[in-house]
Amino acid sequence: MQSFTRSLPLSGATNFRDLGGYATADGRTVRWRRLFRSDHLASLTPQDAEVLAGLRLSRVIDFRGAAERASLAYALPDVAYHALSIEPTVVQRAKDMAMAGEELTPAIAVELMQDTYRDFVSVNAPQFAALFGHLLASDAPLVFHCTAGKDRTGFAAALILLALGVPRHVVMDDYLLTNGLYQRPAQFAGTAPEAVLGVLWRVQEEFLHAALEAVESDHGGLDRYLERELGVGPAERERLAALYLEPRATPPRG
């Protein structure tokens, strides 16, 4: 049996990883080497590009905002690029607070991050609906990313895994892997205290919980949210399963 690693050893992206191998509630498994999540891809080395070519990567979904894409642009040969812009509102809100002379404390930073995740659910539903449109088009290997690969990307990964039937606690474990992988570049240090940066550049269970609680309270649960807001109803979820889950094992004939 072939062995796969979840985190790929790239020099120019520290949070590039495979969503394969997770078991669903009904005993199936997410296929390896089909769905990848990452931080931005603008710093990839030629050796990294060879690794991605070996994955037969053919599609990229970029959740970064316009200014982020312009400052760290990239192109991968023979890979279709799709921008689904979600502007980094927490950064702007932090700047607004600084301009107003308000102190950004770690506790306030947590609240800002939770509000950002709630916005993912409501304000940014069209972008995540578009993501599923790409996923449903084919099972060609795809990577989705933002700048750090933790928030916009983290919520997208959670939606995909939950739609495939992966249990919520496993989804949370995948989400938290960022804290052991992502290495913040020096240019993203900022001027805020390190305790605040530790909130803004890492992930916490409370962030993803805020989004999933909004799905429950504002949209009547995951199934209704997927169908009504993202266009992923029962038929689409069956297709996702056919594309991204290993086939059910055929029981031996007795």
User: Looking up tokens 């053919």, which residue turns up?
Assistant: 58
**Which residues are within 8 A (CB) of 145 and not within 5 positions of it... i.e. 6 or more apart?**
37, 38, 39, 40, 41, 60, 61, 62, 63, 64, 153
Q: In 84-200, where do the E strands start and end?
A: 142-145
Q: Which amino acid is at 215?
A: V
User: Looking up tokens 């900022």, which residue turns up?
Assistant: 190
**Torsion of Cα atoms, 233 then 239 then 241 then 245, to 10°:** -160
Are the C-beta atoms of residues 105 and 193 closer than 8 Å to each other? Answer: no
User: Looking up tokens 């296929």, which residue turns up?
Assistant: 31
Closest by Cα among 66, 10, 71, 61 to 37: 61
Query: What amino acid positions are annotated as catalytic residues?
Result: 146
CB count within 10 Å of CB 102 equals 11
Phi, psi (degrees; rounded to nearest 5) at 150: -125, -35
The whole-angstrom separation of Cα 221 and Cα 200 is 27
Are the C-beta atoms of residues 139 and 246 closer than 8 Å to each other? Answer: no
Longest dimension (CA), the chain: 75
Are the C-beta atoms of residues 7 and 151 closer than 8 Å to each other? Answer: no
